Structure 1
Amino acid sequence: MEETVFFNLGNAIAAKRDPKELIKEAQIVKDKRDPRGKLVIVEGDGDEPLILFDLADQEEPSENTEAFKVKKIIE
């Protein structure tokens, strides 16, 4: 399943090149946030790091957003 989502990079929670490190970061953030919220790990085009966002921060495509491919949703 490949899904494209749009986020403003200013809303990023964390960015790392190592997927295992980003998943650890996501678990730490998840433990401190609303349990009903979802976090999403996304990747951009090229050599960009993986980025962690709150799924609630997803936006419609615009000049202020970038397209990312969903790698993992953390519920």
Structure 2
Amino acid sequence: MITDQDEITSLAELEAFLLLVESGGLGLENVEGVALATHNSNGRPFVAVLDDKHQLLLGRWVTQDVFENGKDLVRIGPKKRH
């Protein structure tokens, strides 16, 4: 499921989303990873939250700029905030 609302438009928003996923704030179960991807039918970029079987649990659209510049943030993970 990819939500059309609240497109992620900045790296700060992407980091906040990743922290929310990591903290369990979205109530998702079996979260195993997060990836940046493009939709097969329209090529639109999104951030995907994946389960232990690599199935999409949740997706949020991202701008092309976030897609291109947020790869390290997704791969390495956000900085923990204290």
Give me the TM-score of the superposition, normalised by structure 2: 0.38
Give me the TM-score of the superposition, normalised by structure 1: 0.40
